[in-house]
Amino acid sequence: MNMNTRDTIMKKLLDAQENVRDYEKFSKKVEDEEVRSAFKQFAEESGMQASKLQELIDKYDNSHR
């Protein structure tokens, strides 16, 4: 499959959003506090990535209309 710029950004956005969900879910299931804290941090970092990727999608869509 040949992916263009928008497709690539969109794929990574979906990946980041899934990571947020996974890390949040895992942080609620594990008992080890260090692991729980790391998963919460990873969820936040993935959320920041998702937010930036969404900005890029919005900017890309607005400039290619």
pLDDT tens-digit profile of 39-62? Answer: 999 999 999 999 999 999 999 999
Provide the residue range defining the domain that includes 44.
5-63
Q: What is the pLDDT of residue 8?
A: 96
**Rg of the Cα atoms in the chain:** 15
DSSP 3: -
What does the chain come to in residues?
A: 65
Percent of the chain with pLDDT over 70: 97
What is the count of structural domains for the chain?
1
Which tokens in the block code for residue 64?
Answer: 């290619």
pLDDT at residue 1, rounded to an integer: 57
